[in-house]
């Protein structure tokens, strides 16, 4: 028993010091002496989580679930691991239990909101992100994720506000920059969309569908006669999309076989006329 107690003391100090590999080794030795040790199970669960070994983390959280449910921080980590393992309903139950007992736990509100977001429960996620902010959460991703909620609820004004706040905090977040550009597309603010997609393309020309989406925005910027204001630029952009093989529109035959775009002609009225061939033509 003294050997086990000594090992658990060493386990605690090793884990706190951040030596996760050694903590794993000590915890496994402790479990050889006492296979029912909740404390060793818990440290293993936390260590594996920090090592991004989510499958083993969940395994040991499940073995120490009674202990985890008695501690707010442990229950939070357990719920996060459940969510990362796509056990979202169980994760939500844990978050709700935790927040019932600790209603001002900002990190729990944030992770609860994210769990709701990945299930596309936009209104519930929005409310939870608001409570996280009200409770004092200041993480960089809050505005980006809350912007996604507003966007999917078609509140584009507040989506734009939050995406801009997120970009101010992290100008290199191309995903949020892309979402802001899509917000301008949804608002039919074509010039702003072109400008925002251009910011992304200048940093990474092949990022997602940015160039294709910029072209779609550009062909909507028209003069009083209904023609594209800069037809030459739009055609050059279409040619570049084909040259680089960038994603644009998806074309397929009646059997679902994809086509390759070989050319895109842009009409002066903004019409888009692609020429395609089968990727794997039948012999």
Least confident range from 159-168, 205-214, 216-225, 273-282: namely 273-282
Q: Is the residue at 78 inside a domain?
A: no
Q: Is the residue at 240 inside a domain?
A: yes
- pLDDT tens for residues 63-107? 998 888 888 999 999 999 999 999 999 999 999 999 999 999 999
- pLDDT tens for residues 102-122? 999 999 999 999 999 999 999
- At residue 241, the pLDDT reads 93
- At residue 94, the pLDDT reads 96
Give the pLDDT mean for 48-67.
93
Number of Cβ atoms within 10 Å of the Cβ of 142: 23
Write the CATH number for 214: 1.25.40.10
Q: Is the residue at 249 inside a domain?
A: yes
Percent of the chain with pLDDT over 90: 81
- pLDDT tens for residues 120-137? 999 999 999 999 999 999
Q: Is the residue at 111 inside a domain?
A: no
Contact indicator for 79, 91 with CB cutoff of 8 Å? yes
Considering only residues 70 and 148, tell me which one the structure prediction assigns the higher pLDDT.
148
- At residue 145, the pLDDT reads 98
Could you list the residue range(s) of the whole structural domain that residue 230 is in? 154-283
Rounded to whole angstroms, how far apart are CA atoms 165 and 174?
14
Q: Is the residue at 177 inside a domain?
A: yes
- At residue 282, the pLDDT reads 57
Q: What is the pTM of this model?
A: 0.86
How many domains in the chain? 1
Least confident range from 66-80, 215-229, 234-248, 268-282: namely 268-282
- At residue 131, the pLDDT reads 97
Q: What is the DSSP letter of 266?
A: E
Q: Is the residue at 282 inside a domain?
A: yes
The answer, yes or no, to whether residue 2 has pLDDT greater than 70, is: no
Give the highest mean pLDDT range of 29-38, 50-59, 153-162. Answer: 153-162
The answer, yes or no, to whether residue 202 has pLDDT greater than 80, is: yes
Residue 183 DSSP SS3: helix
- At residue 253, the pLDDT reads 65
- At residue 69, the pLDDT reads 86
Rounded to whole angstroms, how far apart are CA atoms 214 and 195?
8
- At residue 183, the pLDDT reads 98
Rounded to whole angstroms, how far apart are CA atoms 86 and 117?
13
Q: Is the residue at 102 inside a domain?
A: no
Contact indicator for 211, 205 with CB cutoff of 8 Å? yes
Q: Is the residue at 121 inside a domain?
A: no
């Amino acid at each position: 028993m003294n050997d086990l107690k000594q090992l658990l003391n060493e386990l605690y100090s090793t884990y706190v010091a951040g030596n996760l590999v050694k903590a794993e080794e000590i915890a496994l030795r402790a479990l050889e002496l006492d296979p029912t040790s909740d404390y060793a199970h818990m440290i293993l669960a936390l260590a594996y989580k920090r090592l991004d070994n989510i499958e083993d983390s969940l395994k040991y959280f499940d073995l120490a679930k009674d202990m985890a449910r008695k501690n707010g921080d442990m229950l939070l980590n357990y719920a996060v691991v459940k969510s990362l393992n796509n056990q979202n309903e169980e994760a939500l139950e844990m978050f709700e239990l935790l927040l019932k007992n600790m209603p001002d736990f900002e990190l729990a509100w944030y992770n609860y909101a994210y769990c709701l977001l990945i299930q596309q429960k936009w209104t519930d996620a929005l409310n939870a992100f608001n409570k996280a902010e009200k409770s004092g959460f200041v993480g960089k991703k809050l505005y980006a994720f809350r912007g996604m909620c507003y966007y999917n609820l078609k509140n584009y004004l507040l989506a734009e506000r939050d995406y801009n706040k997120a970009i101010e905090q992290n100008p290199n977040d191309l995903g949020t920059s892309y979402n802001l550009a899509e917000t301008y597309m949804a608002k039919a603010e074509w010039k702003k969309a072109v400008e925002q997609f251009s910011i992304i393309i200048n940093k990474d020309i092949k990022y997602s569908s940015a160039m294709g989406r910029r072209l779609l925005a550009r062909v909507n910027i028209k003069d009083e006669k209904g023609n594209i204001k800069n037809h030459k630029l739009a055609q050059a952009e279409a040619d570049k999309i084909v040259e680089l093989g960038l994603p644009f529109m998806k074309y397929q035959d009646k059997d679902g076989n994809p086509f390759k775009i070989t050319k895109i002609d842009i009409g002066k009225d903004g019409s888009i006329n692609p020429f395609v061939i089968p990727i794997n033509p039948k012999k």
